Amino acid sequence: MSTTGYQVIARKWRPQIFADVVGQDHVVRTLKNAIARNRIAHAYLFVGPRGTGKTSTARIFAKALNCTDGPNADFDPNDPAVLSIADGTHLDVIEIDGASNNGVEQVRDLRETARYSPAQGKFKVYIIDEVHMLSTAAFNALLKTLEEPPPHVKFVFATTEVQKVLPTILSRCQRFDLKPIPAPLIIERLKKIAVEEKITVTEAALACIARMADGGMRDAQSIFDQMISFCGAEIAEPDVLDVYGLVGAEKIAELASTLAAGDHAKLVAIVDECDAAGRDLVRLLTDLQELVRGALLDAIAKGGRSDRLGGLPMTTEQITRLLDGLREGEGSVKLGLAEKINFEVTLLKAIEASRARAIDTLIKELASLAEEVPAAASSPSDDSEKKKD
């Protein structure tokens, strides 16, 4: 069977217009307004985690600038100029990988070609992905062009590690921070894809995929694509759990309840069960932290107590100490050496930490007892004096 025409879901469903961009409304709105009001800057920097739409948004912005009737934020997706940008054949939209073109010579070549007028569109748009990979010398070579660029040149930089970009570059760009995409928006998008691809998928399975994606739409689509290969046209939660070694939401809730109750024996039994089933304990710890964090926020909202973890209500202080205990052991679990033992020890220590009381709380309690003791001690002496009378 020929697979020549097959495209992975992440590429097939890549955003092509501003309306397709999910979870980055603040970026889309600003760019569209800049185009509508003719306030287009010469350099933009898109910052954010992987799979949140940095490069896709940069391409859409380039389409808006170089479409036939551009600049126009509401361009026709079937416009020949737009289609040529989408398939990478437009002469004036140049995509550069910062990791493999990070030297001074490459930047000098860029500066040389930037001087020439656009051959096909209204602007020469340079999209430099992973710009933080440029060397210091390359950054410095780019400075002059960024400071006084030709009017027909626009730069769009994308990076996952903005702290590595020189401050002199940052100060010359308009910066946009793309946020991790909320799970409900990822699920909504995957539902739409499932309908179009004629795939039946349960809500629980979609929730698992969104949980694994950690806010990255591309990651979610890649996972979804792999699950289609594994399951065919019907995807259920157990399939996702088995393929990726995840623990189901009910089991995570049971483990959290066990932590809250301080049941050491049951805790060890649950860990044994998860380990025997080949579950990812590092991922389980992350999911557990998210659940405990939700309980902490619930306690704060409800005036200091929450029963979200099951069992007796826990105070804000107890939940904070429990979460802190889970966070402290995260490094040892991730090392991969004796993972199960480190995971068990982390959970057991977290239980003990949640039961400990803060020093200032103990001082207040002791002070309160000290005030009550003299009052209690004076009562018998008063009675004895009355008897003498």
Query: What's 247's DSSP letter?
Result: -
My answer on whether 123 and 16 are in the same domain is: yes
My answer on whether 16 and 147 are in the same domain is: yes
CATH code, domain carrying 282: 1.20.272.10
My answer on whether 171 and 215 are in the same domain is: no
Domain count, the chain: 3
What is the rounded CA–CA span in Å between residue 174 and residue 170? Answer: 8
Residue 6 has a pLDDT of 82
My answer on whether 148 and 288 are in the same domain is: no
My answer on whether 112 and 216 are in the same domain is: no
Residue 373 has a pLDDT of 66
Residue 226 has a pLDDT of 94
Residue 369 domain-assigned? no
Residue 376 domain-assigned? no
Residue 361 has a pLDDT of 66
Residue 47 domain-assigned? yes
My answer on whether 80 and 122 are in the same domain is: yes
**Is the overall model pTM greater than 0.75, yes or no?**
yes
Residue 159 pairs with which residues in a beta bridge?
47
CATH code, domain carrying 116: 3.40.50.300
Structural domain boundaries enclosing 54: 9-177
Residue 4 domain-assigned? no
Residue 235 pairs with which residues in a beta bridge?
201
Residue 380 has a pLDDT of 53
Residue 5 has a pLDDT of 73
Rg of the chain (C-alpha set): 29
My answer on whether 233 and 297 are in the same domain is: no
Q: Cβ distance 156 to 46 under 8 Å?
A: yes
Residue 368 domain-assigned? no
Walk along the chain (389 residues) in steps of 10 and give the mean pLDDT of each run: 73 94 95 95 94 95 93 94 93 88 81 88 92 87 85 93 91 94 96 95 94 93 94 92 89 91 92 91 92 93 87 86 90 84 92 75 73 60 51
Residue 150 domain-assigned? yes
My answer on whether 23 and 156 are in the same domain is: yes
My answer on whether 32 and 122 are in the same domain is: yes
Closest listed residue to residue 239, CA positions, set 209, 265, 199, 219? 209
Other beta carbons less than 10 A from residue 231's beta carbon: 17
Q: 314-315 and 305-306 as β-strands: parallel, antiparallel, unpaired?
A: antiparallel
My answer on whether 191 and 160 are in the same domain is: no
Residue 365 domain-assigned? no
